[in-house]
Structure 1
Amino acid sequence: MPNVRDVVITGLGATTPLGGDVPSTWNAALAGESGARPLENDWAERYGMPVSFAATIRVAPEEVLPRPEMKRMDPSAQYAMIAAREAWADAGAPEMDGDRLGTVVSSGIGGIWTTLDAWDTLKEKGARRVLPMTVPMLMPNSPTAYVSLEFGARAGAHALVSACASGAEAIAYGVEMIRSGRADVVIAGGTEATIHPMPISAFAASRTLSLRNDDPAGASRPYDQARDGFVIGEGAGVVVLEAAEHAAARSARVYAKVSGLGLTADGYHITSPEPTGSGQVRAMQAALEDAGTTSASVVHVNAHATSTVVGDLIEARSVSSVLGADADQVALSATKSMTGHLLGGAGALETIFTVLAVHHRTAPPTINVTDPDPELTLDLVRDTPRALPEGDIAAINNSFGFGGHNVALVVTNA
């Protein structure tokens, strides 16, 4: 069934472990740089943490935002605001009726720094010292609320929460807002700021983090036989989604089209993916059907690929199942090898990578794969970028989250 309205991407914004904006992040990714680095604090020693590194944000918010503004926001909202402002400027800062503008900016965990700092204040100094802005800062809808206030967006301000699929699901919901006629433009994406000793310790306790303290830059190793878990990251990715006719009317530059959406649930386990990958398969199939295309058009996949022992191969088998014989023509990239895992921000940042891959016809590399898992049959782009074909092409971005959330987005050239 044809889409009611075509939705294109006219603006991109990000702040990540690789750079403080989209151009620096993209260039670092093409160069195969790692954003993982030792933590410059004593957390590991003080708390007995088994992990002493992370993919920390490259440009600190205080270098970008004024201090009075920062004091009103949790870091998760700070990152979102930085990315949203870049995306809006990149889209040409369109003048429009706020009733036709929406926001969907998600976080998988929310204002964890604010929550834990407030608890420490309560314990150490008493209730009277807890900041009155604590609740607006810790609530998971804070980033989307602040973005909506910034740009006067009144068509809706939403914050979908689906763990590590949150950023991608936010973009999917933004597309649906435009398709349904609720909005002409939506600022959408994901953000996360969880590099704090408690979340790091909790993820380490679940045995999902890499323990390569002696080699942070080489720790995220999707599809490598020696992979031992993901590297926690932080940052935000935001895109400006726009009805194609609205973009054309103002002669906007268009990066690509979000042509297909696929959203499913495993209904299997709170943290483990369903072993056969059936939910992932259904999400990708639904996205291709929604896009009105087939596996023959797919030339690139940006995989969720977190670098966990079990998860990477479940996804690889799912991609192979969906694409069948056409899988041989696909360039597979696992960009978390460079950025680390931005949790609720990951799907949004990886959508940006997918959009740029289609726009520039260049698949970013996967680093740190020195001994590929023999079960991986897909063509992994290793160490250096790969040129993508000319003509009409499609790419899939996969995002999966704790709780069994599966999101697949199909991006096509404009």
Structure 2
Amino acid sequence: MKKSVLAVLALLAVLTALWLAALAGADANAGGNFWALRKLAIYYTGIAALGCMSAGLLLATRPAWADRLLGGLDQAYRLHKWLGIAAVSLGAAHWLIKLVPKWLVAQGWLERAAHKGGRGAESWLDLLRKPAESLGEWAIYLVIPIVLLALWKRFPYRPAFLLHRVLAGTYLVLVFHGAALMPPAYWLTPLGAVMAVLMAAGSWGAALSLAGRIGARRRVAGRIVALRPHPGSGVLEVECQLDAGWPGHAAGQFAFVTFGRGEGAHPFTIASAWRDDGRLSFAIKALGDYTRALPQQVAAGDALTVEGPYGRFDFAGRGERQVWVAGGIGITPFLARLEALAAAGGSRQPVDAFYCTAAADPGFIARLRQLAEQARVRLHLRVTPQDGLLTPATLAEALGGKDGVARSDVWFCGPAGFGRALRHGLAAQGLPAGRFHQEAFEMR
């Protein structure tokens, strides 16, 4: 979260600096009375909100460069979320600065601004101002609740997906609003050039979203070849055969899987190593309405679409040893890594894998032990109802104390709260900065 917030602040700092530079030629003589300052505040909040929203729409297209630059698509989506929060906050401020003084005038608590004389013949841009103002106001009424609902994790996935489509269309209205109402003098400054690029990029992202083409170039069709349910842990393994076109993947990556058009794509971690044969497996935990109903809705032979691969959970570290910690379904990326290591003859460095689960399925545990043995990985099974939670102190003790912790790279996948506790606790135990690796698999 910290990096995402800093990135948003950096974007706002750039837009603020460009806006201040643009003032020298555009509004230097605007005066210092309340109404002049209000006008400047309206311009600033509108530009900042539209800039953040444009960057967010661009990231929503899942560009490959963002995956590389930001260290994984999970980080791009985290930044996308904070850009949305910033855009809504600034948009609300823009709306309030515009309307509240008018309400105060209507109540007689504020003196109306003095109107200047006639403006002469109206240009084509002047003719667009009224519709741009009206459409922009109604767009703000839509954007604020849409973004808040999309950020609410308990809001169902499918409606949230559809709301993003509505948001894309609303964004195009806001682009018209901003382009028509931004002072013409601003367009002749570096601020105008940057905003033009941002709005063009955001509009392209919105168009892809409305057309259902986000990630289209990375989609590969296939079919389900086997389903293996694990009732003890509530996990369904789905093995599929993809058509030609899948570029291959590394252990730890994930993909968006579409089992049916009615629901749309869901992100799942790939649970198998790549063998250049088009075969992929996913381990899907029954965590919500959709995943709970999935075993009754899919069957061997059904068609599906897989988009990816994405992610940077790549097991590349500088430590002498690796420590893997999996909580529940967080074991999935480690399954793929175990398969890859087993196929390569085993790990060439010490690896300790801690699997924490509330429900140990015997068949799955037997397979996990076999894979760990073939991969030369030391497996530590921790069934939490009888063994208790894995704590930083317990983990440090298993690694031989602070010296063992300091020589390790820790790879974690599991509940976010569990990860935060381990990260802070292991830092206190001597884990060097940058040696705790965790992918934020939440897409919102």
TM-score bin (small chain): under 0.3
TM-score, normalised to structure 1, is 0.26
The structure whose Rg is larger is 2
Higher normalized helix content (fraction of residues): 2
Q: Which has the higher contact order (CA 8 A, sep 6+)?
A: 1
